[in-house]
């Protein structure tokens, strides 16, 4: 490697610029694929971006910690974005107030079913105790799930990954599943995806029906 190229590499390896740029590029690539596939839920942009970035990290021998030095700026925006969910929530408050009891009951039932079926299935298939404990809290939002996982003896970052995968599965298949089950009520659809699939499902529904989002925000919280 020539001297100037080497110096450029040393510079790039030391700044968060690469991780940040790579994240934005990978997501936009994933989104372009998603559009080209006629918005087929299987071509989930988040899934494509994650696989692409994981492959790049593996090939280039970059650690996740080094990548996260750049990606943390994107990750950080999750906080203000969560707070900003108050806006669509407020705009649709009337609907939620009229159905508050049903919303609470659905959140409770959905979360319990998610926990019991996740642990039950993994246990039947012989998963390790650590994996079971990492699966248990995946039906709450990522930061809470990580905290609970740590308390009960799971792996917090595995839990984080499982929450994301749950979100991708929910976002990918919810439309097919709810259509197959003949559930058309948009409130039931939005809320159920929010409970089971958290932010990714919510983010996807934002693109399809604006008014589903507040219900999902409630479930997500």
Name which of 40 and 209 has its Cβ closer to another protein: 209
Among 18, 43, 133, 195, binds another protein (CB under 8 A): 195
Closest CA to 141 of 51, 87, 201: 201
Single out the segment in contact with another protein by CB under 8 A; choices: 1-9, 10-18, 35-43, 152-160.
Answer: 152-160
**Rounded-to-integer distance, Cα 125 and Cα 117, Å:** 12
Among 18, 43, 71, 133, binds another protein (CB under 8 A): 71
Residue 85 in the binding site for another protein (CB under 8 A): yes
Shortest distance, position 92 Cβ to another protein, whole Å: 11
Residue 193 in the binding site for another protein (CB under 8 A): yes
Residue 126 in the binding site for another protein (CB under 8 A): yes
Residue whose pair of structure tokens reads 């039931």 in the numeric block: 188
Token couple for 121: 């299935």
Shortest distance, position 1 Cβ to another protein, whole Å: 26
Give 136's DSSP letter: G
Alpha helices in 125-155 (DSSP H): 129-135, 142-152
Confirm if 110 and 192 have CB atoms less than 8 A apart: yes
**Angle, vertex CA 64, rays to CA 2 and CA 47, nearest 5:** 110
Name which of 3 and 215 has its Cβ closer to another protein: 215
DSSP string, 91-114: HTHHHHHHTHHHHHHHHHHHHHHH
Name which of 8 and 108 has its Cβ closer to another protein: 108
Residue 50 in the binding site for another protein (CB under 8 A): yes
Shortest distance, position 157 Cβ to another protein, whole Å: 5
Residue 162 in the binding site for another protein (CB under 8 A): yes
Residue 29 in the binding site for another protein (CB under 8 A): no
């Amino acid at each position: 490697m020539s001297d100037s190229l080497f110096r450029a590499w040393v510079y790039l390896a030391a700044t968060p610029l690469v991780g940040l740029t790579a994240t934005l590029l990978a997501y936009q690539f994933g989104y372009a694929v998603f559009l080209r596939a006629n918005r087929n839920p299987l071509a989930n942009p988040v899934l494509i971006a994650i696989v692409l970035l994981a492959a790049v990290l593996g090939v280039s021998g970059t650690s996740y910690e080094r990548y996260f030095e750049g990606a943390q700026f994107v990750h950080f925006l999750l906080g203000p974005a969560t707070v900003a969910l108050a806006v669509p929530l407020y705009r649709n408050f009337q609907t939620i107030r009229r159905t508050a009891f049903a919303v609470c009951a659905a959140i409770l039932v959905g979360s319990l079913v998610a926990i019991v079926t996740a642990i039950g299935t993994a246990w039947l298939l012989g998963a390790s105790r650590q994996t079971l404990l990492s699966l248990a809290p995946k039906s709450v939002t990522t930061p809470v799930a990580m905290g609970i996982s740590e308390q009960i003896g799971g792996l917090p970052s595995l839990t984080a990954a499982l929450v994301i995968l749950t979100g991708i599965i929910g976002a990918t298949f919810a439309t097919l599943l709810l259509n197959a089950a003949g559930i058309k009520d948009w409130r039931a659809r939005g809320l159920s995806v929010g409970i089971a699939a958290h932010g990714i499902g919510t983010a996807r529904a934002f693109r399809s029906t604006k008014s589903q989002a507040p219900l999902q925000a409630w479930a997500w919280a």
